[in-house]
Amino acid sequence: MKLLRSQTGFTITEIMVVIVISGFLMAVAASGFAAFFSKFDEMNKRTELQRDAFNCLQKIKNGIPIGSGANLKFQGIATADSVVFQGLSGHSSTGIILYPPASDIYHQNDFIRIWWDGRYVRTTYLDGTLQPPAPLYLFPKPSRGNETEVTKLKFTKATPVGVPAKVILVELEARVKLRKTFLHNKDVYFPVSYSTRMALTMK
């Protein structure tokens, strides 16, 4: 009589159990990676919003670049000696026109205009014969997929009544869309808010 030797290996049931468990573990790992990259993307959006909003305030204060090379200059609140408030509501405005000191007869009409159009901070200028063909975007930069918007830009005269405006209170608020909620399909935003005083030149 011939004896059958015992055979080692896996049954179909055991293989199916392993496949199911492996698939479950891979799904959990994929979900974890997706959550990680989602949080990483949100962190980048927050950082970029804070950086770009701060840079916008620095340009408003210290000046936007005009010209190039040896003729490069910066014109803003800190380089202007007078200001006109536009779109005035009470003591506050959503736009200003800055007038730098005239260096010669060719620059007597120079100006820098900065305003909020409802979503973007825009600017234009006249420097001698230099003038951009269209208003420039200070913040945010318009691009496909850009989910950042300015929700407030306000300029307020910070000197007593009857005294020429030499100090301006600048308030800037902006937000960036982070994601949509799963249940209610609502946008979730991260906001920033800045308030600072800027002085015109005392020359």
DSSP string of the chain? Answer: -PPPPP-----HHHHHHHHHHHHHHHHHHHHHHHHHHHHHHHHHHHHHHHHHHHHHHHHHHH-EEES-GGG-EEESGGG-SEEEEES-BTTEESEEEEEPPP-SGGGTT-EEEEEE-SSSEEEEEEBTTB--SSPEEEESPP-TT--EEEEEEEEEE-S-TTS---EEEEEEEEEEEEEE-TTT--EEEEEEEEEEEEE----
Q: What pTM did the predictor assign?
A: 0.79
**Angle at the Cα of 167 (from 163 to 169), degrees rounded to 5?**
120
Residues 6+ apart with CB under 8 A from 76: 59, 60, 61, 62, 63, 64, 98, 112
- pLDDT score recorded for residue 132: 95
User: Hey, which of 14-18, 38-42, 99-103 has the most confident mean pLDDT?
Assistant: 99-103
Does the pLDDT at position 22 exceed 80?
A: no
How many percent of the chain have pLDDT more than 90? 55
Does the pLDDT at position 187 exceed 60?
A: yes
- pLDDT score recorded for residue 106: 84
Does the pLDDT at position 153 exceed 90?
A: yes
User: Hey, which of 29-38, 66-75, 86-95 has the most confident mean pLDDT?
Assistant: 66-75
Does the pLDDT at position 35 exceed 80?
A: no
- pLDDT score recorded for residue 104: 80
Q: Would you state the structure tokens that stand for residue 198, as one six-digit string?
A: 């800027």
